[in-house]
Amino acid sequence: MTGERDGVALRVSAYLGLAVLGALVGIAGALVQAAWFPGGLLLALLGIAALCYGGVQLTRTRLGGVAPAVTWVIVVLMLTASRPEGDFVFGVGIGSYVFLLGGMLAGVMCATMPKVPQPGRSAVRLGK
Number of other residues whose CB lies within 10 A of the CB of residue 90: 18
Residues 40 and 49: their CA atoms lie apart, in Å, by 14
pLDDT over 60 (residue 128): no
pLDDT of res. 119: 63
Per-domain boundaries in the chain: 11-112
Confidence of residue 126 (pLDDT cuts 50, 70, 90): low
Residues 22 and 54: their CA atoms lie apart, in Å, by 11
What are the pLDDT digits (tens) for 61-93?
888 899 999 999 999 988 888 777 766 777 777
Contact 73, 107 (CB under 8 A): yes
pTM of the model: 0.80
50: Cβ contacts below 8 Å, ≥ 6 apart: none
